[in-house]
């Protein structure tokens, strides 16, 4: 009958709604898990970037300290080199005078037995060797310090560029994940709204099915009542008909 047909339709609708409800719950769960994962990844990247920044600051402080020490050492060595050069220049001048005096004394004492004089320029040669060794060593140290400074500057620049690229890439990744969170949030919000609507429809369908069930129950009760009392009602009806016929006969004079 019509009630049964409508009931079957509503039951199918309710089943479809329950399937949708489970689907929306799954979407909400997936979106929630996705948001939690993205939030965790963003936190980890932010923390890593913070630690990288702290490491970079420490490296830069070390670099500044090394650079300062190298430049101070170069300044001191340059001053020492300048002083030593003046000392050796003055010493070379004194050696020249000593050689001249020595030659004069040798001429005057040519007849005397004297130890053989030192080769001409011997003292000057010794001074030159000393000058070349000390000054050369200082100049080498200065050159090494300059080389170290250049290498330190190059390494610092490379480290800074690497850090800046890391920050740039990390910020880009964070921005992309934040956009993913916005998208996931929209998916979750839409699923939540759809879930609320579907649950309301499901409750409405359930109420309608209850109404149909009540109607069907009432109809069944009426049918049962009619079936159970059919014979009695038919007998009463026959008695009523018979009574009417007797009354009609009396009125017409057919029955005495």
Give me the mean pLDDT over the 169-184 stretch.
96
d(CA 154, CA 165): 17
Say whether 135 sits in a helix, a strand or coil. helix
- Structure-token pair, residue 208: 């309608």
Predicted local confidence at residue 14, as pLDDT: 81
**Is 0.85 topped by the overall pTM?**
no
DSSP H or E run through 116: none
pLDDT digits (tens, 9 = 90+) for 44-91: 999 999 999 999 999 999 999 989 988 898 899 889 888 888 887 776
| Contact residues for 48 (Cβ-Cβ < 8 A; gap 6+) | 170
Is the confidence at residue 96, as pLDDT, over 60? no
pLDDT at 113: 45
Let me know if domain 2-208 sits in CATH 2.60.40.
Answer: no
Residue 203's pLDDT is what? 86
Residue 215 and residue 204: Cα distance in Å, rounded?
Answer: 16
Please give the Cα distance from 130 to 91 (Å, whole number): 11
Query: What integer is the mean pLDDT of 119-125?
Result: 44
Assigned token pair, 68:
């300062």
State whether the Cα torsion 35-40-46-49 is positive or negative.
Answer: negative
Residues in CB range of 95: below 8 A, 6 or more apart: 123, 124, 127
What's the mean pLDDT in 115-135? 52
Task: Answer whether 210's CB lies under 8 Å from 7's CB.
Answer: no
């Amino acid at each position: 009958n019509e009630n049964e047909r409508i009931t079957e339709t509503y039951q199918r609708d309710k089943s479809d709604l329950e399937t949708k409800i489970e689907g929306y719950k799954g979407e909400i769960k997936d979106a929630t898990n996705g948001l939690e994962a993205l939030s965790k990844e963003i936190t980890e990247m932010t923390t890593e970037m913070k630690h990288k920044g702290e490491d970079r600051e420490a490296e830069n402080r070390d670099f500044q300290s090394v650079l300062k020490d190298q430049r101070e050492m170069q300044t001191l060595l340059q001053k020492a080199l300048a002083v030593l050069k003046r000392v050796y220049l003055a010493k070379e001048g004194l050696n020249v005078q000593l050689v001249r005096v020595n030659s004069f004394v040798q001429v005057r004492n040519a007849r005397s037995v004297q130890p053989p004089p030192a080769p001409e320029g011997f003292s000057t040669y010794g001074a030159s060797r000393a000058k070349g060794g000390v000054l050369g060593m200082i100049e080498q140290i200065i050159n090494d310090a300059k080389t170290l400074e250049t290498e330190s500057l190059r390494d610092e620049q490379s480290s800074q560029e690497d850090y800046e690229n890391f920050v740039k890439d990390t910020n880009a990744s964070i921005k992309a994940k934040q956009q993913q969170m916005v998208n996931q949030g929209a998916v979750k919000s839409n699923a939540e709204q759809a879930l609320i609507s579907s649950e309301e429809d499901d409750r409405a369908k359930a109420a309608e099915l209850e109404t149909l069930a009540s109607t069907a129950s009432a109809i069944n009760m009426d049918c049962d009542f009619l079936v159970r009392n059919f014979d009695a009602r038919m007998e009463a009806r026959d008695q009523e008909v018979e009574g009417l016929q007797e009354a009609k006969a009396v009125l017409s004079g057919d029955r005495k």
